[in-house]
Each structure stands twice: as C-alpha cells, then as structure tokens.
Amino acid sequence: MPQTLQQSHNSAINFQPQVKSALANTQLRGNFDRAMTGLMHKRTMAFADWDLEALRDLGQAIRQQSLRQLPDLLEQLERQCQANGIQVHWARDGDEACQVVTEICQQRQAKTVIKGKSMVTEEMELNAHLEQRGYTVLESDLGEYIVQMAKETPSHIIMPAIHKNTAEIAELMHTMTGVEQREDAHYLTDQARQQLREKFMQADVGISGVNFAVADSGTLCLVENEGNGRLTTTTPPCHIAVTGIEKVVPSLTDVAPLLSLLTRSATGQSITTYVNMISRPRQPDEKDGPEAVHLVLVDNGRSDIYQDEELAETLQCIRCGACMNHCPVYTRIGGHAYGTTYPGPIGQVLMPQLLGLEQTPDFASASSLCGSCGEVCPVRIPLPSLLLRLRREAVDGDRTRASTVPGHGSKRSNLESLIWAVWRLVHRRPGLYRLTTRLASQLRALSPKRLGGWTRYRSAPKLAKTTLHSAMNNRSKRQQP
C-alpha cells in the first residue's frame, strides 16, 4: 500500500527503503508505467504540428526575462492587484503563509474552506495547518479529493492520484462515501462531482493556486479541466490565491506561449477545458464572483535560490510535470517514494535547495543522467546539469564557502575522498595506469564475482585478456618493425 507521507522535514528522507517497497509493488509500477506511457504519447501528438524547439526557446526566454526582472515585476504585480482591488500579502516561508491564510479565514469567520489544486499549499502543508485550527478543508480537484480521502499526499504535481487505478479508487470511494463500488471512471466522477457541488455552496473561503501572475495587469491565470477551479474562485464569498513568487510574468502576451507549452507538455491538451483569468473581486454591477480576493505571495526559499545564477534556473519551472512523465526513475518508483512535495527530476533539483542536502541525501544521485527531463522541459531548464551541480555541492570540500544550497559538503566522506585520490593518481600517471590495467587483465581470473549492488542484478563484467593499450602497442610494432 502506498504510505501516507507527511514527512517531518527535520530528519533525512528515507529514500532507499521507500524505493525498495515501491519497486516491489507491481500494481503501483503498472499504474505508473501505463499512465506515464500514455502521457508521453499525448505530449508527442500535441506538439506534432508545432515547431516545438522554437516554442521552447520562446518559453525559456520569457521565463528567464521574468526572473531577471523578478523584484520589479513583483512590485508591479502588487501595485496592479491592489489597484484592481485584490489584497496582496507576502509570506517569507510556509508557516507565515499558513498564518496569513488563517487570519483571513478568521476575519471572515469562516468554517469551511474549499480548495482547488495547488502545489504551493502542499509545500506549506496548509491543509494540516487549517484542520488543526478547526477548519473543515475540502479538496475539490478530483485527484486531490481522492488523495485527501485516502489520507495521502499527491504522487504527481499534475495528477495527484495517478498512483491509483480505477479499481482502487472505486474501492476507496465505496468505503469512504458509500457509493456503489463500480470500476467505471464516469460513474465515479459523477458521484464525486455531486458530492462536491453541495460543498461549494457551503464554503466560506475558496483557496486556489496560480499558474501565471501577470504583473502589468494584475491578472491571475489558473488552468484546470474540471471546472472546480472556477467554482473555487467564484462561488465562495472570499477567494485566496496562493502562489510562489517565481510565477510572475511581465504581461498577458507572455501568457499565451507559456500556456501552449504548459498544457501540451502536461496532458497533451491544446488547451485546458477552463482557463480562468482573475483580475478583481465582484464589482457592484456584477452578479457573481467573490466579494474579496487575496493574493498570497510565498517565498519559502525561493529568493535564496534566486541568488545563485545557475541554480536560479530552477525557478523557471512552470510545473507541467513533463520531466516526471518522461523520467525512467520516477516512472518506476512513483511520486511517493521521494517523500517530498515535488517528486521526479524537478523535485530532485528543487527539494535539496529547499530542505537542504542533509535532508535529501539521495536526490541528486538518483538519476542516470539520461537527459530525458532536460529534453522535454518546455522552458529548457537544464535539469541534468543542475543535478550535477547539486552533486558537486554535496561533496564540496569547503563547507565554509558561501553557498545558497543548505548542507553543501554534507556528503563528503573521507573514504570516498581517498578512493578519488587514488583514482586521480592512477589516471594522471600514464605509466602507472598502463601497469595497473595490464596487471588487472593478466590477473582477470581473480576479479571478484560479486560487486555490491551491481551483481544483485547482473553478472560481474569480465576483463579482456589484453588491454587496448597493449593491443595497439603490438599493432604499431607489427606495422613498423
């Protein structure tokens, strides 16, 4: 069974055991394999008629330009939102952001909160925070609704319940809500919708994420497929939009290419069923919409990442999930094995920067550096290079060096340093290298049959009888006697 993972971030993430149990779970592996294969195919089809590389260039340029002007754009966003009647709040970290949300709920004397999908609120652990304070919190995105019912966390940033198949969802909904246990996606969706409809009407506050925050118009863009986002942001009398500070873009013209990239990369859709553009609370002459709209801008480590020119590329992310869909590691272990809000390649790059390398000791190394993530990222984040950078940070020999990555140097061990020193010695002295390799091939009968993790799945490789060095040496002797 997929475990419930509300990680306490004070201790290192138990990656290896989680990986082992995920790999042993054939049901889970089947679910991910099928889902990811389908998503990869859909993405390919969606871009078939596009000059994808040119579009990615554009996406990258927009995101890089946005980040270059980030401080100015954020101020502009604040001004524009306020001019539109949206109240803007700043939060340094997750706790502060939770407090801001709680205070708004208190002011409104709210009891029930309904939520649209939002990864930043997962990052803040907002649900737990609100529930502890007596609020009823209901997730309205179908995937999130299922995950909440199962007391789990999302296993994918776009499709939170992708680790479950229809049969598992039918059983869960039957147990939890008493609906008929039917393995029929349409039936289950209908049932969930009916249950959620009523709750929308009762909710005092709606909380959503933001896909893009437009600085020059103060518009908050939100894409979704179920209409729950629109209900969350329009039905309750108060809407709180929560976003990481990196989601800002200069103007509405920047949104169109990013949207094209986002939906195609994420689900293979040309456009989502709903694209919400929120720019103000309900006006006196309007019939619906919330009377109050709040925007909470969450830093939570982002401005630290921003200080490092190379690692700042992490912040270009538009959270499409394509890197995980295409990752051979993610596909095999699923999102829960990572034990963090963001799994997959972007999680492996982002989480060590947010939580520190001590908390995430296996993240940077858990990649074959195959390059699939970097190849598909719609905004060209060089994920493999960033993983390499974090590997360097992890074994950094100078722990006093200023670094934006918490815990840099924490993986450096004396034994490994010694091994690398020997490796370096042998490979810098050609005579010594030739001698050692020649000896090794002559003594190949003695080479070990077991080599740690390697031989758990493979036979030990066999050294050749002669090295290429010797063979080429003999060859040139033959040719020039």
Among 424, 435, 439, 443, binds other proteins (CB under 8 A): 424
Angle between helices 252-267 and 52-68 in degrees, nearest 10: 130
- For residue 246, the SS3 value is helix
Among 199, 319, 332, 434, binds ligand SF4 (CB under 6 A): 319
Q: For tokens 């939906």, what's the residue?
A: 263
Least Å from the CB of residue 8 to other proteins: 24
**Do the beta carbons of residue 464 and residue 438 sit within 8 Å?**
no
Contacts with other proteins by CB under 8 A: the residue count is: 70
Site for other proteins in 310-349 (CB under 8 A): 328-329, 332-333
CB nearer ligand SF4, residue 235 or residue 265? 265
DSSP secondary structure of 413-477? -HHHHHHHHHHHHHHH-HHHHHHHHHHHHHTGGGS-S--TTHHHHSPPP---SS-HHHHHHHHHH
Site for ligand SF4 in 235-294 (CB under 6 A): 265
**Residue 427 contacts other proteins per CB under 8 A:** yes
Least Å from the CB of residue 211 to ligand SF4: 11
**Residue 120 contacts ligand SF4 per CB under 6 A:** no
Amino acid identity for residue 288 in this structure:
D
Among 453, 477, 480, 481, binds other proteins (CB under 8 A): 453
**Residue 52 contacts ligand SF4 per CB under 6 A:** no
**Residue 347 contacts ligand SF4 per CB under 6 A:** no
**Do the beta carbons of residue 383 and residue 333 sit within 8 Å?**
no
Among 134, 397, 448, 481, binds other proteins (CB under 8 A): 397
Least Å from the CB of residue 303 to ligand SF4: 19
Taking the C-alpha atoms of residue 454 and residue 136, their distance in angstroms, rounded to an integer, is: 50
Among 4, 20, 132, 176, binds other proteins (CB under 8 A): 20
Site for other proteins in 403-422 (CB under 8 A): 420-421
Least Å from the CB of residue 243 to ligand SF4: 15
Whats the size of the chain, residue-wise? 481
Binding-site partner at residue 92 among ligand SF4, other proteins, none, CB < 5 to 8 Å by type: none
Among 378, 384, 406, 409, binds ligand SF4 (CB under 6 A): 378
| Residue 224 parent element (H or E) | strand 219-224
**Residue 54 contacts other proteins per CB under 8 A:** yes
CB nearer ligand SF4, residue 57 or residue 96? 57
**Residue 320 contacts ligand SF4 per CB under 6 A:** yes
**Do the beta carbons of residue 71 and residue 327 sit within 8 Å?**
no
**Do the beta carbons of residue 3 and residue 18 sit within 8 Å?**
yes
Instruction: Give me 328's structure tokens.
Output: 């051979």
Binding-site partner at residue 237 among other proteins, ligand SF4, none, CB < 5 to 8 Å by type: none
**Residue 386 contacts ligand SF4 per CB under 6 A:** no
CA 76 to chain centroid, in Å, comes to 27
For the CA atoms of 293, 210, 232, 340, what is the dihedral angle to 10 degrees?
-120
**Residue 252 contacts other proteins per CB under 8 A:** no
**β-bridge partners, 88:** 295
Closest CA to 138 of 20, 2, 235, 30: 235
CB nearer other proteins, residue 178 or residue 431? 431
Binding-site partner at residue 201 among ligand SF4, other proteins, none, CB < 5 to 8 Å by type: none
| Residue 200 parent element (H or E) | helix 185-202
**Distance from first CA to last CA of the chain, Å, rounded?**
70
**Do the beta carbons of residue 377 and residue 324 sit within 8 Å?**
no
CB nearer other proteins, residue 218 or residue 343? 343
Taking the C-alpha atoms of residue 454 and residue 420, their distance in angstroms, rounded to an integer, is: 19
CB nearer other proteins, residue 319 or residue 434? 434
**Do the beta carbons of residue 117 and residue 144 sit within 8 Å?**
yes
Which stretches within 268-306 are classed as H helix?
302-306
CA angle 304-306-307, nearest 5°?
70
Among 105, 203, 346, 387, binds ligand SF4 (CB under 6 A): 346
Contacts with ligand SF4 by CB under 6 A: the residue count is: 14
Least Å from the CB of residue 306 to ligand SF4: 16
**Residue 98 contacts ligand SF4 per CB under 6 A:** no
- For residue 321, the SS3 value is coil
Residues that bind other proteins (CB under 8 A): 16, 19-20, 23, 37, 53-54, 56-57, 328-329, 332-333, 362, 364-372, 374-375, 385, 388, 390-395, 397, 420-421, 423-424, 426-428, 430, 433-434, 437, 440-441, 451-464, 466-469, 471-473, 475-476
Residues that bind ligand SF4 (CB under 6 A): 265, 317-323, 346, 376-379, 381
